[in-house]
Amino acid sequence: MAKSKLVRVNEKIAEKVTTAFEKVEDTVVGGYTKIEDAFVDHYLAKEGETVEEAKARLRQEHTQLK
């Protein structure tokens, strides 16, 4: 059974909207991660500690408080 032209157009629109949303989501999450890393590095990391180590330490401290 052949698809109608309207169905094909709707599928193309849905694909483009989904692709655009994924790009926006990646951009926003990437920007947030950069800001978060900079904040952790500047204010929360101890001397000689990397950002990843500081995040792991903070997660561990947070779980111990619960």
Run means of pLDDT, 10 residues per run, the chain, 66 residues: 86 98 98 97 95 96 90
Q: Outline where the chain has alpha helix (H).
A: 5-39, 51-65
Residue 54: predicted pLDDT: 96
Number of domains into which the chain is organized: 1
pLDDT of residue 2: 66
pLDDT of residue 66: 79
Q: What is the pLDDT of residue 50?
A: 96
Q: What is the pTM of this model?
A: 0.74
57 Cβ contact partners less than 8 Å away, ≥ 6 residues apart:
46, 49
Structural domain boundaries, residue 42: 5-65
Nearest to 45 by CA among 35, 36, 55: 55
